[in-house]
Amino acid sequence: MPINDIRIVLVEPNHPGNIGAVARAMKTMALSDLALVRPVDFPSHLADRRSMGAKDLLDKARVFESLEEAIGDCRLVIGSSARERSFPHSILEPRECAAQLVGEAADGEPAALIFGPERTGLANRELDQCTFQVRIPANEAFSSLNLGAAVQLLCYEIFMASRTPEEALASIPKEKPSLQIEMEHFYDHLERALDARGYLEGEMREVTLSKLRRLFNRGRPHSGELKLLHTMLKMIHNESE
């Protein structure tokens, strides 16, 4: 199975050395699509040096201003985090994560695996843009791997999944789930409609929006279903005017 369509996204990497280490980790596992969101220091000699023979990946790495732009063309987005969140998200094991990515990413259908900044990890609002979360099981008292090591381990699982028979992989849903950018438009509309009805007032606003995002992310609506939801929202919105 080809794995060129699996994109590794680093959100705000602080140390250029880690970006180089990630490029090397990816190349050893036959991955090549690297996206960087607001890297603190890039391009950088330090990144080039740490990448060893993988400078070609750094040369063609794309830099984005926002996570939304880096994953807008994906239907499947998996966020990696060592932490369990206070409300449930669908948490995958590395092997399941790899089977899902390899099963769904195909010609011209990119899928993304996201990594957070070294110090803070992915924020809730970033995980809210993901279909699933992946956690690498580790020492409960010390579960945070170095960024390069986390990328290496998950890319290894992707490489191994690419060598397994197709039947063992997750299959692409019959009706393609919507693109991430279409989901963002829907969440915009949802927020506006709920605001118009005064539903999002008070301190629970962010938590409520986050719960709704996770609910719809889990449902993976296809474009026909999103259209239905947009129509419902329009009606709710108009009633309040």
The contact pattern for ligand SAH, residues 129-168, with x = CB under 6 A and - = no contact, is -----xxx-x----xxx-x--x------------------
* Type and span of the H or E element at 21: helix 16-28
Pick the closer one to ligand SAH by CB: 21 or 136.
136
Q: Which is nearer to ligand SAH, 82 or 160 (CB)?
A: 82
Q: Is 124 in the site for ligand SAH (CB under 6 A)?
A: no
The rounded distance, in Å, linking the Cα atoms of 83 and 68 is: 22
Beta bridge partners of 10: 36, 115
From first CA to last CA, the distance across the chain in angstroms is 52
Q: Which two tokens mark 199?
A: 């539903």
What is the phi/psi pair of residue 79, to 5°?
Answer: -105, 135
CA dist list (Å): 116 to 26, 79, 103, 127? 16, 8, 24, 10
What value, to the nearest 5°, has the Cα angle with vertex 166 and ends 161 and 168? 70
Q: Which residue is nearest to ligand SAH (CB)?
A: 121
Q: Is 13 in the site for ligand SAH (CB under 6 A)?
A: no
The residue (of 84 and 206) whose beta carbon lies closer to ligand SAH is 84
* Residues that contact ligand SAH, how many (by CB under 6 A): 20
Of residues 59-88, which lie at the interface with ligand SAH (CB under 6 A)? Answer: 80-83
**Cβ nearer to ligand SAH, comparing 19 with 194:** 19
Backbone angles phi, psi at 118, to 5 degrees: -55, -45
Nearest distance from residue 122's CB to ligand SAH, in Å?
5
Least distance CB 89 / ligand SAH (angstroms)? 13
**Residues paired with 64 in a beta bridge:** 37
Nearest to 128 by CA among 171, 90, 82, 177: 90
Among 122, 161, 200, 233, binds ligand SAH (CB under 6 A): 122
Shortest Å distance, C-beta 193 to ligand SAH = 33
Which residue ranges make up the site for ligand SAH (CB under 6 A)?
Answer: 80-83, 115-116, 118-122, 134-136, 138, 143-145, 147, 150
